[in-house]
Structure 1
C-alpha cells in the first residue's frame, strides 16, 4: 500500500470503510469504486464520501515527497494520489502552513513600510506652501477652471479624477497631472480608498482613479477661498503660455469629437496613430478653429468608413488611413485655399469649464480661428506688439502694395488677401503667398513681351 493512513476515529466500521477507500493494487489502481463504497454507510445529507473520510483520516502518499522537508505529502482524495514515485513540486501541509505564515509576516512588514512611506510623503507635502502670486498664467487658468468643475471641493474637501470630468471634453486627467507636477495639488493617501497605493517591487505604485487630491495651501493664514478670489483677479501677461494652454484644450475638444466619430463608425486606432493625429491637429489649430477641424474629422472618418467597404480593404486597414487622410486634406486646403466649413458643437460634448473660462477672459470659443485666438490673447496680455510682428510685416506689405499698384492689380490683390484670410491663413503667410503669385505673373508677362522670348541663348 502506497498510502499511509493516520486514523482519527476508533469506530471499526468507519476504519474498514477508510481502508477500503484507499486500498490499491500493485499497479496503483484503487480496488473498489467510490459509488460502491458510498452504500456501505448512510452518510449525512450533502456530505460526500471523500469529505466524510477526510474528517476521520489523514492520508499521506508515500510516492510524493515534500521538496522542502522531504516528508510524505498529504493528499485529500484519490485524484491526488500518484501511481509512480516522483519528487513532488508541492509542499507538504506543514511546510505550506509555515510558508503561508512567513508570507503573511512579510506582507504585514511591507504594509507597515508602505504606511510609513505614505505618511512621510503626505507630511512633506503638507509642510509646503505655494506663493500663488508667482504661479504661471496657464496654471492659474487651469486652477480656476478646476475650481468651477469640482466646486466647492477644490477649497473645502478632497476630490478624485472622476470629479474633474467637467474640466475639458477629453484628457482632463492630463490637465490635473499638469497642476500636480507644478506643485499646486497634493495627494492625500489618508483620504484614498484602501489598496490605492501598493508595492511593485521596490517602488510604490498607485491606482490613479482612486487618488485623493487636495488644493495646495498658500501662504500661512491665507484661506483657500481667498486664494481663488485673488487668482480670479489675475492680470495675464504670458501670451505664449496661455496660447499653448488654449492649444492643449482645443486639441482635446477636437480629439473628443474625432473619437466619438471613430467609435460611431467602428474605427479602432492605435496609440501611435492617435499621437500622430494630435500632432497634426495641434499644428492646424494655429490657423483654423475647433469647429472647422470638427468638419475635417467628420469628413475623413466618413471617407475611411466608405473605404472599409471596398474589396481590398477592411475596417482595420481603413482606420489606419485616418492620420494620413487628415494631414493630406489639410495640406490640400492650404494649397488650394479651400474655405473650411464649420460644424456646430455636438450636444453630447459640452465645452468644459476650461473652455468657458477662455471665452469669458479672452473671447475665444470653438469658432475662433487660431489666428484670431493669437491676436485676442495678445491683446488681453498686453503683448500685441511685443514680438515685433507689426514691424516685421511692414516691409513685405509695403513691397506687395508697390508691386500691386505697379501692375494695376490692387483690387485683385485685396480680393485674394480676403480669400486667404477666410481660408485660415495668417497675415504673414497671406502676404507671402500673394507676393510669390504676383512676381510669377510679372515674370510671365515680361517673357511674353521680350523679343528673345522662346529663343535659346
Structure 2
C-alpha cells in the first residue's frame, strides 16, 4: 500500500506527525496507532488527529485511480486506503467538482422548468370557473361543511389539508379529493411553501400536507362568501348521491372509533384488513346506525384483546381476527334478528362539520339507522312521491291489498306497514317484506 502525500504545511513537527500517521510496513499495516500519535503535538480543543492532519496534507492512494481520468483518488483517513490496486467508483477531486457543477446546472434548469410549469398551471387554474347552481347535491353539502371547518379561509384566502381536520372523523383527504376531482377546490402553487412541488424523474410530485387549496372561481363572478350563502338555499334532488355521502361520512365515523379502540389494546391492522372492515361497515350502515356499529366494534376488539392473551396467540394474530369477527357478528345479528345496542359518542370523538351539516339538512345523527336515513333522503328529494315511484308501486300495492283482504288480515297488514315505515324502511321495501310474509 502506497500513499502519496501533498504537504500543505512547512512545520517540521507537523510534517513528521503526518508521515508517521500514514507510514506502513511491507504488509500494508500501519506502523503506529492513532491513539499513540494523538499526544505528540498540541491541537485545539475538540480537534481530532484525523481532521488536524487532513487540514495540513492531501493524501492520495496509489491503489485507487479515478475511473474517468485515471488520476489518483484522494482519501481522508486510513480506513479509505486500499492494500491492493482495485477499481474505484469514486471520482477524483477535479472530476467530482466538474460532475457536481454539471449536476448543479441541471438542478437549476429543472427548478426553472418547475417554476415555469407551476406558473402556467396556476394561470390555467385561475381561468377555470364553476357554475355552482349546477353542482351535485353531495358536493353542496361537502362545501358547506368545509366552509365551517376552515372559516374564514375557504372564502378569504387559502387552506391546507391540516386546516380541514374538523371536517370529518377520518378520511378528510378522501373528501377533499372528491371536491378536487369535481373542480370545486383548486390547489394554488403560488401560496405553497418552497419544496411543496418537486421533480421525481420526469414527473412533478407534491407534498399533499403542504398543498394550499382555494375555492374555484364562480362563473357569475360572485365573491366566494356569496357563493357559499347561495348554497344554503339549495333544493336537493339527488337521493342516491346524498345517501352515498351519508355512507361515506358514517364509515369514517365508525372507522375512527375502531382506530381508537385498536390503539387502546395495541392492535395493528394492515391496510388490506382496514379496507375489508370498511367494506363490511358500509354495507351494514345501509341497515344499522353508526352508534350500533360502534357497539359491534367495541365487542369485537375486546374479544380480540382477550384472545391475544391465550397460548399460541399474540397481538398480531389476534388483530388479524377482527375483520372476520365483525363480519360474522353482523351476520348473526341479521340471521337471528338480534337488536344491536347503541353506544354513545365518546367525548374525544367529535362528529365533524360534515356530520353537523348532514344533521341539519337530513335530521340525522349517529343514532339514525341506515333504513331511516334512506327514507329521509327519499322524502327530502321528492323521490317518495314522484310519478315514477308511484307507477312502480301501483302493482305491488294492489297485489298486497288483494292478498290482505282475501286472508282477512287488512288491519294487521296496515299496522305492520306503519311499523316498518317508522323504523325507516322505504315504502317499496316495506311492501315487499309484508308481501313475502303473506305468501309464506
Shared topology, TM-score over 0.5?
yes
Question: What secondary structure sits across from 2:64 in the alignment?
Answer: strand
Bigger shift: residues 379-388 or 426-435: 426-435
Aligned-pair distance for 1:156? Answer: 0.4
CA distance 1:411–1:292, change in 2 (3 Å): farther
Task: Select between 20-29 and 200-209 the one with higher mean Cα deviation.
Answer: 20-29
Equivalent in the alignment of 2:332: 332
CA RMSD of aligned residues (A): 2.6
Point out the more displaced range, 382-391 or 412-421.
412-421
Query: Matched residues in 1 for 2:397 and 2:313: separation?
Result: 50
- Paired with 1:427 and 1:319, the residues of 2 have a C-alpha distance of 41
Residue 317 (structure 2) aligns with: 317
State which drifts further: 370-379 or 389-398: 389-398
Helix, strand or coil at the partner of 1:341: coil
| Structure (1 or 2) with the larger CA radius of gyration | 1
Change (3 A) 1:263 1:391: farther
Give the Cα–Cα distance (whole angstroms) in 1 for the partners of residues 90 and 27 of structure 2.
Answer: 23
1:281 Cα shift? Answer: 1.7
Contact 2:130 2:219 in 1 (8 A): yes
| 2:326 partner SS | helix
- Structure 1 residues 118-148: Cα deviation after superposition (integer angstroms, max 9, x where no partner): 1111111011111111111111111111001
The alignment of Structure 1 onto Structure 2 pairs a total of residues equal to: 440
User: Residue in 1 aligned with 2:249?
Assistant: 249
Deviates more, 1:151-160 or 1:104-113: 104-113
Deviation at 1:149, TM superposition (A): 0.8
Does the aligned pair in 1 maintain the 2:393–2:428 contact within 8 Å?
yes
Segment of structure 1 superposing worse, 223-232 or 155-164: 223-232
Other-structure match for 1:140? 140
Q: Report what 1:454 is aligned to.
A: none
Aligned partners of 1:400, 1:282: CA distance in 2, in Å?
32
Rounded to whole Å, the distance in 1 between the matches of 2:338 and 2:119 is 60
Compared CA separation, residues 224 and 366, structure 1 to 2 (3 A): same
> 1:288 touches 1:424 (CA, 8 Å); kept in 2?
no
Q: Show the counterpart of 1:192.
A: 192
Separation in structure 1 between the aligned mates of residue 331 and residue 422 of structure 2, nearest angstrom = 16
1:8-407 pair list within 5 angstroms: 8-219=8-219, 221-386=221-386, 388-400=388-400, 402-403=402-403, 406-407=406-407
SS at match of 2:186: strand
1:434 offset after TM fit, Å?
Answer: 4.7
Checking the alignment, whether the CA contact within 8 Å between 2:371 and 2:423 is kept in structure 1 is no
> For the residues of structure 2 that align with 1:423 and 1:320, how far apart are their CA atoms?
35
1: CA distance between counterparts of 2:21 and 2:342? 82
CA contact (8 A) 1:254 1:293 kept: yes
Alpha-carbon offset, residue 251 of structure 1 = 1.3
Q: Secondary structure at the match of 1:367?
A: coil
- Is the 2:375–2:424 Cα contact (8 Å) retained in structure 1? no
SS of the residue 2:183 aligns to: coil
How much does 1:321 deviate?
2.5
Whole-Å separation in 2 of the counterparts to 1:219 and 1:429: 42
Deviation at 1:199, TM superposition (A): 1.0
Structure 1 residues 385 and 220: CA distance shift in structure 2, 3 A: closer
